[in-house]
Structures are given as structure tokens and as C-alpha cells.
Amino acid sequence: MKVTVVGGGTWGTAFSSLLAERGHEVTLACRDPLQAAAIAENGRNPRYLPELELAGVEARTLEADALTDCELLGIAVPSHEFRGALENLPDSAPLLILTKGLDPSSGRRLSELTVSRPTAVLVGPNHAEEIARGLPAAAVVASEDEPLAARVQDAVHSSRFRVYLNDDVVGVELCAAVKNVMALAAGAVDGLGLGDNAKAALISRGLAEMGRLAAACGARPETFAGLAGMGDLVVTSWSRYSRNRRAGELVARGRSVAEAEREIGMVVEGITTAPVLRDLSQRLEIELPITEAVCRVVDGGLPHELVSTLMARRPTTE
């Protein structure tokens, strides 16, 4: 299969390598011509995962022929850039969304912006750094187009990257968005030194928030117990590779949100997604207390208030 992956960040780079290992003809489309030229010359991405050899991956800039001459278009750009990237993509090939987040301008799921073409979504506990090292991982691909989902599964599935099918697109996309916000809160617990009990409680209640949102949006609650939900939530909340967890930790230790993002040097999706989720919950008239607490910190509140506010809530049933 001829596949073009749009976005030369960590995940776009790692996913391109996965595809090349499976024998596909892969193009990594980069926005920056200097980045594309460096990859073409050295076979490595100098900015992201520079230790990964990109054998079989052709790097190019976002030219028309790099996008039109393919059978599948993967999009691995930050959520706030997704709409703009989509407007510049041809409609000649199905889309595979690799971005985890919501459209900040509308609050919609990203696949809702692609209704005019076949679309699949791939998510799961997949830190690019471990994928690049060849460590085993699993993911889920979701689409309302069952043949497309099966094609993507067949294209990507391997002995080290196991891919499952799921037709709950709503649930899978919401999982991918919410888990980043929960990871910010989990990182704050780390930064404040509140211990494993507090972190486990927060993650468990975060999963409850995810399920509550799922029910309100028509998703299947069991999706949130799978790879897209519990799997990705756990790895994003605990891993040293997690940008969202790290950002929460840095803010809890005294950095501003802007300083934390600069220190990490990459997009922290949870910071963009948190206010979008809060607004969505208000429209749906459901409670997302952890999300609301994270938003208060992102807006300049003190991190320790996140925990005290949550612990002081009225006792209730689980």
C-alpha cells in the first residue's frame, strides 16, 4: 500500500517506521522543508526520535503529489492544527486519524470534520519512544467503514504491534481526548508528592468521568475499559514519556503552564483539550470535576487547590 503520513513529529515518525517495516511504500510529509531534507539525507528525523533509522521512509514537504499519489493518508498533527491540515488534503484517499484530541474551535470530534470521506481512527497506549525501540504494543482502529478498518488493521498489525477493531468511533475518540486531561491531573499529583493512593484514586475517578461522558455522547461504556480507554489512560498517567503527565508535574512544582510547555518542547494536548471538554460537559449538563479542576489550574489557579477541591466534594456513591 502507498501511505502518506502528514506530520513529522514523534508519532508521525514512529508510525511511518512501523508502516515501512510492514513493507508499505511510505512518505512522511513534513511542513518544514529543512526537516524533510535532513530526513532524506540522513535517514533520521533530527528533531524527533533521532535515534530511529527510517529505512524505507521517503520524506517530502507537503506538496500536492506527495499527498495525492497514495492509497491512505495518515494525519499525525496536533489537534489545533488538524482542521487547517485537513483543508489542504486531497479527497483522493481514505484518512487515518492519528491525532488524539478534539477540535478546539468547535469542540467536535476530529472524525466529525471528515464526514465527506472514508475515515478511520487509530488510538491506544502507544508512546512513540517505545514503538521506536521495537517494544511490543497494541492499538485499536475504529471506523464506521468496516472494510476500511479491516484494511488498516491488516496494513499495520504485526508481531510487535497488535491491532484490534472497534466500531465505536465516538467512544474511541473521546477516550483519546479525555485521557490527556486526566494525565495532567495525575502529573500534578506526582509533582505535589501526594503518593500512589491519591494517584490511583484520581485515575479511577478519571475513568468514571470518561464513562459518564461516553454515556452522554452515545458511546459504549465498555470502550472505556479497553485499550483506547483504560489502556491509554494508564500509560499516559504513569509513563515518563508522557508529555501531559510531565506538564502536570512541572506546573505542580511551580512552573507556569507556558513554561512547562516550553520545557517539554512539544505540544501538550491536554492543555488544549481541557477547556473544550469543560464546555462540552456544560452543554451536556454532566459533571466532570477533574476536568474542571484542571481547567482552573490551566487558567492560573494553584495546583494544590485541584486536590483540595476534589477531596472536599460532597460524599456520594461510586
Digit-coded pLDDT (tens) for 101-143:
999 999 999 999 998 899 999 999 999 999 999 999 999 999 9
Higher pLDDT, 23 or 222: 23
Q: Is the pTM of this model over 0.85?
A: yes
Q: What are the strands of the beta sheet with 2-6, ordered from one edge? A: 57-61, 25-30, 2-6, 72-75, 95-97, 119-123, 137-142, 161-166
The pLDDT score that the predictor gives to residue 116 is 83
- Angle, alpha carbons 28-172-292 (nearest 5°): 105
- Residue 6, Cβ neighbours under 10 Å: how many? 27
- Angle, alpha carbons 126-129-134 (nearest 5°): 80
Q: What backbone phi and psi angles, to 5 degrees, belong to 85?
A: -65, -40
- Candidate list 2, 100, 179, 199, residue with the active-site label: 179
Q: Please answer whether residues 18 and 128 qualify as being in contact, where contact means their C-beta atoms are separated by less than 8 angstroms.
A: no
100 is catalytic: no
With cell 494553584, the residue in question is 302
The pLDDT score that the predictor gives to residue 201 is 93
The pLDDT score that the predictor gives to residue 303 is 83
The pLDDT score that the predictor gives to residue 65 is 63
The pLDDT score that the predictor gives to residue 64 is 53
Higher pLDDT, 318 or 45: 45
Average pLDDT of span 257-275: 94
pLDDT digit string (tens) for 72-99?
Answer: 999 999 999 999 998 888 888 999 999 9
The pLDDT score that the predictor gives to residue 66 is 63
Average pLDDT of span 204-231: 90
Residue (of 97, 77, 72) closest to 19 by Cα position: 72
Q: Please answer whether residues 297 and 306 qualify as being in contact, where contact means their C-beta atoms are separated by less than 8 angstroms.
A: yes
Average pLDDT of span 251-273: 94
| Strands in 131-194 per DSSP E | 137-142, 161-166
